[in-house]
Amino acid sequence: MIRVLLVHEESLLRSVLAEWLRREPGLDVDDTPWWGAAARIRSLCPDVCAADLDCSDGHGVPPLGDLCPSGTGGPPALVVLAHASRPGLLKRAAEAGALGFVDKAGSPDRLVRAIRSVASRERFIDASLGFGFLKAAQMPLTRRELSVLSLAAAGASIAEIAGSLHLSHGTVRNYMASITRKTGARNRIDAIRISRGEGWV
Rounded Cα gap, residues 58 and 53, in angstroms: 9
For position 120 contacting its own copies by CB under 8 A, the verdict is no
Q: Which of residues 61-90 bind its own copies (CB under 8 A)?
A: 81, 83, 85-86
For position 192 contacting its own copies by CB under 8 A, the verdict is yes
E strand or H helix at 103: strand 100-103
Nearer to its own copies, 20 or 133 (CB): 20
How many residues bind its own copies (CB under 8 A)? The answer is 45
Which of 1, 25, 58, 143 binds its own copies (CB under 8 A)? It is 58
Rounded Cα gap, residues 172 and 179, in angstroms: 10
Nearer to its own copies, 135 or 188 (CB): 188
For position 185 contacting its own copies by CB under 8 A, the verdict is yes
Which of 1, 12, 121, 127 binds its own copies (CB under 8 A)? It is 12
**Window of 24-32, 100-108, 135-143, 164-172 that interacts with its own copies by CB under 8 A:** 100-108
**C-alpha separations of 17 from 12, 20, 86 in Å:** 9, 5, 22
Chain mean position to CA 32: 16
For position 57 contacting its own copies by CB under 8 A, the verdict is yes
Q: Which of residues 156-175 bind its own copies (CB under 8 A)?
A: 156-157, 160
Supply the minimum distance, in Å, between the C-beta of residue 160 and its own copies. Answer: 8
104: which DSSP letter? T
Q: Which long-range contacts (CB under 8 A, 24 or more apart) does 187-195 make?
A: 188/152, 191/149, 192/149, 192/152, 192/153, 195/88, 195/141, 195/149, 195/153
E strand or H helix at 47: none
- Classify residue 89 as exposed, middle or buried by CB count within 10 Å of its CB (0-12, 13-18, 19+): buried
**C-alpha separations of 113 from 27, 44, 117, 119, 129 in Å:** 12, 22, 6, 10, 16
For position 17 contacting its own copies by CB under 8 A, the verdict is yes
Which of 62, 110, 132, 200 binds its own copies (CB under 8 A)? It is 110
Nearer to its own copies, 91 or 196 (CB): 196
Which residue type is seen at 15?
S
Q: Where along the sequence are the contacts to its own copies (CB under 8 A)?
A: 10-13, 15-17, 19-20, 54, 56-59, 81, 83, 85-86, 102-108, 110-111, 152-157, 160, 185-190, 192-194, 196-197
